[in-house]
Structure 1
Amino acid sequence: MSMFAQLQRRAQEGRPVRVGLIGAGKFGSMYLSQAPRTAGIHLVAVADLSPPRAKDSLRRVGWADERFAAASLERAAREGTTCVTDDADGMIASPFIDIVIDATGSPAAGIHHVLKACEHRKHVVMVNVEADVLAGPYLARRAAEAGIIYSMASGDQPALIAELVDWARTIGLEVVCAGKGTKYLPVYHASTPETVWGHYGFTDEQVAGGDFNPQMFNSFLDGTKSALEMAAVANACGLTPPRDGLAFPACGVDDLPSLLRPVAEGGILAEKGTVEVVSSLERDGRPVFRDLRWGVYAVFEAPSRYVQDCFAQYGLKTDSTGRYAATYKPYHLIGLELGISVASIAIRGESTGATTDWRGDVAATAKRPLRAGERLDGEGGFTVYGKLMPAADALVQDAVPIGLAHDLVLKNDVPAGRPVRWADVTFDATREAIRVRREMEALFRAEMGAAGSH
């Protein structure tokens, strides 16, 4: 029976999946637009730091006020309505919630919410890739110990990439490379909230007339979001990040199998089984033909001459040898697709992609020469961008992760292009997010040391 049919059955039997959403921003709002249209789903609560803003989001996506007028979670659960609250911890602890969605985008908040979900044994859909990359391997272990599912969010690119990787491996194909598309030029790494709109081509009038967050937009442009998403994919799929960071080659869908193959065979990969992001722009700014700016892909290899012949017989676009081919999805609908994760957990007891190991990390890297006494302003800001690297390299370099590079004061100068190190900053080791991250580093450092001694 399909997931939809089983959701319909739950609706008919009066036992819907009871969901609590934390964060009513863009991703959360997209899910809010679809949740009432999905049989067998009851969004019992929406938690947000600003309940009035959350209510505005509900109205904007088409909810009538009476639908979110419940004064308590208990009343919402009983009446089939929704409670809007600023008490996320209380929502997670509620016996009227089965699945929690974290769509906050705050690394510290995401870590806190997952730990609370472990405590109260609530499944978690982690939209918050920032938190997942910062401490996901640690949180995944805690979730497993608690007997809950810790899942990527369907609709977001990491989960869709993980789906393609799982498809290929399940039918016996080796994944050579997997990733996504984006708009990229090398100059973007130095972009700041003051320069971001020029790179996007937005006018002052457009910016003034819309709800635009320059630091958030800049985190997509300067490579940080791509690095975070590829670290999440590496950690979920057992793939290896490139040692020197993402290359962002200009590449359209027809050239994926030719470009994303090993160097020895004419491609750009140092090894098989890696992640990469392809650019929709040539280095001179011209658009790439049949670009994958909004999509995801996986490149795989034929294991035999017979399978290679099948690729040709069924029209797959391959490289010149016929051995490498690719599949791709040209679009992702982020929050509109989030219901797949909720249904998968509730109906099948399965995640839609999940962190399994610590293979990739994202280091806070100086955008320009930084001076002692400066305060880091985090993802998408003026001081640092996120650079993807193998987790083992991040440990050796003692790199500060981009998810914690906000409001830390430098003790030392840091040259442009170099990761900021823990020794370069002052920090409060008692802060929950920093404490969890440092515990994870110590745990994996010990495990990597033990593995190396055998």
Structure 2
Amino acid sequence: MRVAVTGARGGYGRTLLAQLRHVSDQTAAVLVDPDTAGVRQMLLELGCAEDGMTVTDDRAAAEAAVHAGRIALVPGAEALPWGAVDVLVEATGRVDVGTAYAVRAIEHGVHVVMVSKEIETVAGIALHRRAAAAGVSYLPGDGDQPANLLRLLDWIERVGLEVVACGKSSEYDLVLDPATGRVRQLDVEIDAPSLAELLELGDDAAATLAARAEAVTGLKRSAAADSCEMTVVSQYSGYLADTESMHYPVARPDELADIYAERERGGLIAEPGAVDVFSMLRLPGEASFAGGVFAVVRTGDPVTWELLRSKGHVVSRDGSHACIYWPYHAMGVETPLTIAAATGRGAVAPQIPRAPAPHTLLAARASRDLASGTRLAVEGHHHEVAGVAPVMLPGSEARRGAAAYYLLGGATLRRDIAAGELIGLDDLDGVAPVALDAFADGFLRP
């Protein structure tokens, strides 16, 4: 299988390219990135020979290089030889550019593995439909939380367990040093001495969670990337956010079965079948959950689950719920599984349901007053829009005029937007046409 990778210079691209060197039936054929010099240097670091690659901006030369057994490094779509590849791995993270790559791939009969979760929230439904009509695959890529959680849910539902809640941990753990009373999140530390007394959930879980949240108010715990990923899960699974900004409890893994029970049992969940994100609280030296996914299920037979509790499973204190989890993701190291599935040579892809649908819209709510004429940009590591909060709303809000969050990138406001208002499609000028068309196909057209 000949694989093309867009956004090849990024961290995800490197992890995938490093792994493809060890997968016998998959070959990195075309690498697309404006920084071709950077991609070339990366390949050299990974052990590729200088004469094993060709840097070119000419499509014919790129195709010739692939047929000669070399890796073609090209700066953009104009030089991508579609006839020389079998699978596109889209990893630009840019909705306008990445949607266009996926559309072109499908038109040329090339399977698509979608790594750019931002694109999934806007265009994934339409792209999946178009791929099915063209007889090619369109799959979310293993190695990030959305596809990994969908695989976990697939297993859970196939064995007949009932999901009450599912989700992931936020990207960065909260690491408490009880000796100093300080909490570290990456390279940021704050004083939170009260947390040392809140390590146990206690009899009043709601009060403990509220006190923990108060103790870490100085840290940023939510990110657009979290809402983006859980929107993808919702679109494929049909599970919905319990609240538009999710709960984000500060939690330890052995508490999840209690925390994500229904409210009448002392948990957070109003309606079973919720997606959510938690902030992991741990001590120095304890294993991380960052990158992991979970599902909380009803247990049924108490004897079975008491036996499983004794084998280390996370079971609620009253025995009614259990948490099943994978505490990791491995980025591109796992993506060869999806590449194989896309071509029918590997494991069955997630099937809950078989196609994404507009269950949830990742919408945009102004977090401060925004003036008419403001140009909006998706920026930073977490791909966020300044002054705008992502919110998870029913997909029907799109038909009422709400815009998808990641359609805002590069657009300009037509009117003043007050803090708290949803931003609508009619409020925007300059939305990327290819992304807007795919959004309309997925959310607005039958």
Give yes or no for contact 1:254–1:290 (8 Å, CA) kept in 2.
Answer: no
Shift of residue 199 of structure 1? Answer: 7.7
Q: Secondary structure at the match of 1:37?
A: coil
Give yes or no for contact 1:366–1:385 (8 Å, CA) kept in 2.
Answer: yes
Give yes or no for contact 1:262–1:270 (8 Å, CA) kept in 2.
Answer: yes
Alignment of 1:127 onto 2:115: yes
Alignment of 1:410 onto 2:396: no
**One-letter amino acid of the structure 1 residue matched with residue 138 of structure 2:** Y
Alignment of 1:161 onto 2:146: no
Q: Secondary structure at the match of 2:368?
A: coil
Alignment of 1:18 onto 2:15: no
Alignment of 1:253 onto 2:253: yes
Higher helix share: 1
**One-letter amino acid of the structure 1 residue matched with residue 396 of structure 2:** A
Deviates more, 1:245-254 or 1:366-375: 366-375
Deviates more, 1:350-359 or 1:115-124: 350-359
The equivalent of 1:147 in structure 2 is 135
Give yes or no for contact 1:223–1:387 (8 Å, CA) kept in 2.
Answer: no
1:162–1:426 Cα change, 3 Å: same
The equivalent of 1:439 in structure 2 is 441
The equivalent of 2:164 in structure 1 is 176
The equivalent of 1:211 in structure 2 is none
Give yes or no for contact 1:179–1:276 (8 Å, CA) kept in 2.
Answer: yes
The sequence identity of aligned pairs, in percent, is 27
Shift of residue 320 of structure 1? Answer: 2.1
1:184–1:108 Cα change, 3 Å: same
Alignment of 1:316 onto 2:305: no
Scaled by the length of structure 1, the TM-score of the pair is: 0.79
Structure 1 segment 39-438 matched on structure 2, within 5 A: 39-69=24-54, 72-88=61-77, 91=80, 93-94=82-83, 96-182=84-170, 201=187, 223-280=223-280, 292-305=289-302, 307-312=304-309, 314-346=311-343, 347-348=345-346, 350-351=348-349, 355-378=355-378, 379-396=383-400, 398-427=401-430, 431-438=433-440
Shift of residue 99 of structure 1? Answer: 0.9
Q: What is the alpha-carbon distance in structure 2 between the residues aligned to residue 182 and residue 295 of structure 1?
A: 9
1:385–1:222 Cα change, 3 Å: farther
1:322–1:281 Cα change, 3 Å: closer
Give yes or no for contact 1:153–1:352 (8 Å, CA) kept in 2.
Answer: no
Q: Secondary structure at the match of 1:311?
A: helix
Q: What is the alpha-carbon distance in structure 2 between the residues aligned to residue 330 and residue 399 of structure 1?
A: 35
Q: What is the alpha-carbon distance in structure 2 between the residues aligned to residue 427 and residue 69 of structure 1?
A: 36
1:165–1:50 Cα change, 3 Å: same
Give yes or no for contact 1:237–1:356 (8 Å, CA) kept in 2.
Answer: yes
**One-letter amino acid of the structure 2 residue matched with residue 50 of structure 1:** D
Q: Secondary structure at the match of 1:418?
A: coil
1:287–1:223 Cα change, 3 Å: farther
1:37 to 14, 19, 22: 22
Give yes or no for contact 2:337–2:347 (8 Å, CA) kept in 1.
Answer: no
Shift of residue 35 of structure 1? Answer: 1.2
Shift of residue 245 of structure 1? Answer: 2.5
Q: Secondary structure at the match of 2:325?
A: strand
Shift of residue 183 of structure 1? Answer: 5.2
Q: What is the alpha-carbon distance in structure 2 between the residues aligned to residue 199 and residue 304 of structure 1?
A: 39
1:376–1:281 Cα change, 3 Å: farther
Shift of residue 42 of structure 1? Answer: 1.5
Q: What is the alpha-carbon distance in structure 1 between the residues aligned to residue 375 and residue 261 of structure 2?
A: 41
1:27 to 12, 16, 20: 12
Shift of residue 420 of structure 1? Answer: 1.3
Q: What is the alpha-carbon distance in structure 2 between the residues aligned to residue 37 and residue 418 of structure 1?
A: 50
- Structure 2: runs of 5 or more not aligned: 174-183, 190-219
Shift of residue 355 of structure 1? Answer: 4.7
Q: Secondary structure at the match of 2:384?
A: coil
Give yes or no for contact 1:242–1:274 (8 Å, CA) kept in 2.
Answer: yes
Give yes or no for contact 1:400–1:420 (8 Å, CA) kept in 2.
Answer: yes
The equivalent of 2:213 in structure 1 is none
- Structure 1: runs of 5 or more not aligned: 1-16, 186-197, 204-219, 447-454
**One-letter amino acid of the structure 2 residue matched with residue 166 of structure 1:** D
Shift of residue 337 of structure 1? Answer: 1.8
Q: Secondary structure at the match of 2:125?
A: helix
Across the aligned residues of Structure 1 and Structure 2, the Cα RMSD in angstroms comes to: 2.9
Higher strand share: 2
Q: Secondary structure at the match of 2:315?
A: coil
Give yes or no for contact 2:398–2:443 (8 Å, CA) kept in 1.
Answer: no
For this pair of structures, how many residues does the alignment match? 394
Q: What is the alpha-carbon distance in structure 2 between the residues aligned to residue 333 and residue 296 of structure 1?
A: 12
The equivalent of 2:181 in structure 1 is none
Shift of residue 133 of structure 1? Answer: 0.7
**One-letter amino acid of the structure 2 residue matched with residue 46 of structure 1:** L
Q: Secondary structure at the match of 1:115?
A: helix
Give yes or no for contact 2:141–2:338 (8 Å, CA) kept in 1.
Answer: yes
Give yes or no for contact 2:62–2:81 (8 Å, CA) kept in 1.
Answer: no
Measured against aligned partners, the alpha-carbon deviations of 1:265-318 in whole angstroms (never above 9, x if no partner) come to: 211011111110001259xxx999876333111111124456445534544221
1:181–1:322 Cα change, 3 Å: same
**One-letter amino acid of the structure 2 residue matched with residue 258 of structure 1:** D
Deviates more, 1:430-439 or 1:301-310: 301-310
Give yes or no for contact 2:172–2:290 (8 Å, CA) kept in 1.
Answer: no
Shift of residue 436 of structure 1? Answer: 2.3
1:69–1:92 Cα change, 3 Å: closer
Shift of residue 261 of structure 1? Answer: 1.4
Shift of residue 75 of structure 1? Answer: 3.5
Give yes or no for contact 1:140–1:356 (8 Å, CA) kept in 2.
Answer: yes
Scaled by the length of structure 2, the TM-score of the pair is: 0.80
